[in-house]
Amino acid sequence: MSQTSPPAAGPVALAERIASLDVLRGFALLGILVVNIQVFAMIDIALFNPTAYGDFSGANLLVWLLTHVLFDQKFMTIFSMLFGAGIVLMAQRAEAAGSRPAGRHYRRMLWLALVGVLHAHLLWFGDILYSYGICGLWAYLFRKVRPSRLLVVGLLLIALASSLNILFGWSMQFWPEEQIQTFATDWAPDAAAVDAELTTYRSGWLGQMEHRHPTALEMETLVFLVWALWRAGGLMLVGMALFKLGFFSAERSTAAYARTAAVAFPIGLALVIYGVLRHFDAGWSVEYSFFLGTQFNYWGSLGVSLGLVSLVMLWCRASIMASLKRSLSAVGQMALTNYLMHTIICTTIFYGHGLGLFGRVERVGQLGIVVAIWILQLVISPIWLRRFRFGPFEWVWRSLTYLKLQPMRRASG
């Protein structure tokens, strides 16, 4: 008696995609740019200490408040959780097709990490792909763990990064005075240090390496070990749990999403806003704001993120603004391409090999650029996917993962 062979494993077909996941991924990706553009446009410490550079009053202060309260760490949190969900989804589909997903998964993560290294050292040091690729290597081992345990382990890992920051903040009272002074100088650089960074990024591509390479290396080592490894990795496990519970696929009831938003959103917002007030009370001092002061947003971002996800899931269950959902879904399907395009567009606008506007655009103008990029990607992404199966960088990534060139064009007719 003949036996039917299992279907060959390959990239997820359009009909198999979970629409709400793509919409949420597109939503998260566009939101991340609101935060990242500050690093593209200004000296890097201004992301952590907004008083260090640029106008911090009036409309610019309002833009910073909006960014910090609703965007900073919130959309990266959503994207990290979705990355964990994607690990489970791909493994489940490969196993259902009768294949072993481990080899492809590890190739996929290693290639992503390599892309992240190239992205960070050649274009922009603020890369997150390296961290996702490395965390994805070990997060895969948790793919079959039940949701309750995933939530516990994930939250413990998230808490570990928080504990390290609190420990560092507490220990500052014992640091040598010279070390504290050096730290304070980095936190609030003098005019000479500011001018040096402005000159570096207003110069050509090679000149930018003076700052970009050592900063990228620090992000891939020290920052990864004390923050991204635990925060991003922990969020991936939380995302795995929420995916298994049907939270990301709009499978929960309308009441469940409404309750989650009604509880998580205000609690998260209250923590973040209280943290902002504490920063101002402390005068944005390095002793308070660098380590201890970040914890209100660190934890509050989890509540705001869950609230935002719940609202997006309610929207996915409704029939309003269907065309915007389709555009966001396309942005989400091309997440890698659109993420790298953020870097290509923004470094061309702000760095010296392009228009050289680094340090010359205030926060209000930065937000205008963000909106323009949103519109561009919401328009271009669905047009591209009507003709092609993947974004260009997704095609390269998938071809390397599956060790064969993937079909790019959609069948006509």
Rounded Cα distance between 133 and 115, Å, is 9
pLDDT higher than 60, residue 226: yes
Residue position matching structure tokens 């469940």: 256
Rounded Cα distance between 274 and 44, Å, is 24
pLDDT digits (tens, 9 = 90+) for 22-48: 999 999 999 999 999 999 999 999 999
Identify whether the C-beta of residue 116 lies closer than 8 Å to the C-beta of residue 105.
Answer: no
Residue 358 confidence class, pLDDT cut points 50, 70, 90: very high
Residue 270 confidence class, pLDDT cut points 50, 70, 90: very high
155 Cα distance to chain centroid? 18
Rounded Cα distance between 242 and 102, Å, is 22
Identify whether the C-beta of residue 40 lies closer than 8 Å to the C-beta of residue 347.
Answer: yes
pLDDT higher than 70, residue 162: yes
pLDDT score of 13: 46
pLDDT score of 99: 86
pLDDT digits (tens, 9 = 90+) for 129-150: 999 999 999 999 999 999 999 9
Mean pLDDT of the chain: 94
pLDDT digits (tens, 9 = 90+) for 73-114: 999 999 999 999 999 999 999 999 888 899 999 999 999 999
Q: Is the pTM of this model over 0.85?
A: yes
